[in-house]
Amino acid sequence: MDLLQKQNEWALENSSHPYVTPQMQLDMWEKHNPKKFQEIKELVTNEENSNGGKNSHKIDFIEGALTETMALRKDLTINSTRPQRPTCFNHLADLIKKTQGVFDHAKAGHILNAIRKDGSSNVWDHWHTTLYAAIAGIENVRVDTYEHDNSDLEKCRMIEQELFHCKNGLAKPVGIAEEHEKSVERKRANIRDNVGPKINVDVELDNIMQKVNISPTGRDPNAKRIDGFLSLKNTYRKVRSHYQKDADRVLIKHINLIKTIWPDDKIVAYFLEGYTDMRIRFERHSGLKGMPKNINDDLMKRFLENFKNNSSGNKQTTFTSAEDGSAKNEKNKTTESISLRIIYHLNNWWKNVEGNRQVLVNQKQALTMYHNDLSNLFVKATISGTKKKLDVECPNCQHEFKQTYEG
């Protein structure tokens, strides 16, 4: 049952007075999804809630600061001036589950309510919190009331829209790195309290960051900054998948190498991910007939040290962009593109600095290593390191023609 659509249908049928109470919403939830409703009802039926909830009111508040939960209303008008979206019962269920069914007044804060001149009222923010209190049996909640001066109902609704937008739409969004820092300690506590899985990827990754002393937000001024936290998480998933029990050691080794080569620079996670992808590809193809032997840590350290000391573009970002004249990143394949570009620079070092007759990875080998991940044309253009025209064979008629690859 689509409860969102059900609420809209109800609002259409009751357009002259489209106000729902907490009890009306809970009744709708119970009627159309009784299994989920009962599951949540059992979760909130606990001693803490029966005593008024956690951090319940111990002192007298100023008049009007406390309101009966069941007396609150939500305006579900179908007009374009609807102040807020209908209830998302899945979000409500997640909210209750994540807090183990204990309503906490301190965390809930104040319900934001508006009173209109016609006597109607509307919770213009925190309606899901209101419903949480309602199903948990919390009789009174803290309320911050806004009283309208305007008697025009539609203008009141528009003002509430603007209030909601100013409070939520203009707020600085919380980035993935900040969210990680905010949530990881809760996840540690869950592990200590035997709530949920014993192993959490975010906690494991945070342990690694502490070991190598890096920070995704710069909160710790003594830690080295790493930019691109999502890319760091993706890298950790890849090493866990490929190296399994040895994953932590490998990721720590890769991070420490970058810290050693660029001690005064922040870590660029996109380079770390591309570098890790490249090392994994060498390992997967090492030993296969016609493929290059696996590279080792000492070789990579010598290469990167030489690159830093002798290259005009001696930053990690040189590998992450196409500033060297090679092909641009292939669309939606940034990691693989960076990985291949590292091999391009590695080839130049191996042949021109180390004095070898052949490159480490030739074009044919590169096509095999990146088969199904990058287009053949992109691999040929990148491994050559120029935007020169390449001999390309038409897949339909096998006719060869010249093609300039521009990314």
Q: Answer whether 386's CB lies under 8 Å from 326's CB.
A: yes
User: Residue 143: what are its φ and ψ, rounded to 5°?
Assistant: -130, 135
User: Residue 86: what are its φ and ψ, rounded to 5°?
Assistant: -65, 170
> What DSSP string runs through 349-395?
IIIIIS--SS-SS-HHHHHHHTTTTS-HHHHHHHHHTS--EEEEE-T
**Packing angle of the helix pair 176-192, 201-212 (nearest 10 deg):** 110
> What DSSP string runs through 382-394?
HHHTS--EEEEE-
Q: Answer whether 106's CB lies under 8 Å from 31's CB.
A: no
Cα separation, 123 vs 144, whole angstroms: 10
The DSSP element (H or E) to which 297 belongs, if any, is: helix 297-310
pLDDT for residue 60: 47
Give which of 290, 304, 231, 277 is closest to 373, Cα–Cα: 277
Where does residue 54 rank: exposed (0-12), middle (13-18), buried (19+ CB within 10 A)?
middle
**Token couple for 280:** 């994994």
3-class secondary structure, 344: helix
Give which of 315, 344, 308 is closest to 329, Cα–Cα: 344
pLDDT for residue 387: 54
Give which of 304, 314, 403 is closest to 350, Cα–Cα: 304
pLDDT for residue 169: 81
Name residue 159's amino acid. Answer: I
Report pTM: 0.66
pLDDT for residue 260: 95
Cα separation, 320 vs 335, whole angstroms: 9
Pairing mode of beta strands 121-125, 111-115: antiparallel
What's the CA dihedral at 7, 9, 15, 18 to 10 degrees? -10
pLDDT digit of tens for each residue in the chain (407 aa)? 589 989 999 999 999 999 999 999 999 999 999 999 999 999 999 999 999 999 986 544 555 578 999 999 999 999 989 988 899 999 999 999 999 999 999 999 999 999 999 999 999 999 999 999 999 999 999 999 999 999 999 999 999 999 998 988 877 777 888 888 888 888 888 888 887 788 899 999 999 999 999 999 887 778 999 999 999 999 999 999 999 999 999 999 999 999 999 999 999 999 999 999 999 999 999 878 888 888 899 999 999 999 998 876 678 888 876 554 455 788 889 999 999 999 999 999 999 999 998 999 999 999 999 998 999 999 999 998 755 444 555 544 555 544 444 43
Strands (E), 196-246: 214-215, 224-227
Q: What is the DSSP letter of 62?
A: P
Q: Answer whether 269's CB lies under 8 Å from 234's CB.
A: no
List the 224-227 sheet strands across, edge first: 214-215, 224-227, 267-268
Give which of 15, 18, 34 is closest to 26, Cα–Cα: 34
Residue 389, C-beta contacts closer than 8 angstroms, at least 6 positions apart: 402, 403, 404
Q: Answer whether 156's CB lies under 8 Å from 116's CB.
A: yes
Q: Report CA 253 to chain centroid distance, whole Å.
A: 25
pLDDT for residue 158: 95
Cα separation, 202 vs 207, whole angstroms: 9
User: Residue 289: what are its φ and ψ, rounded to 5°?
Assistant: -60, 130
**Rg (the chain; Cα; Å):** 30
User: Residue 267: what are its φ and ψ, rounded to 5°?
Assistant: -85, 130
Question: Residue ranges of the alpha helices (H) in 18-152?
Answer: 22-32, 34-44, 47-50, 89-98, 105-108, 127-135
**Token couple for 235:** 């890298």
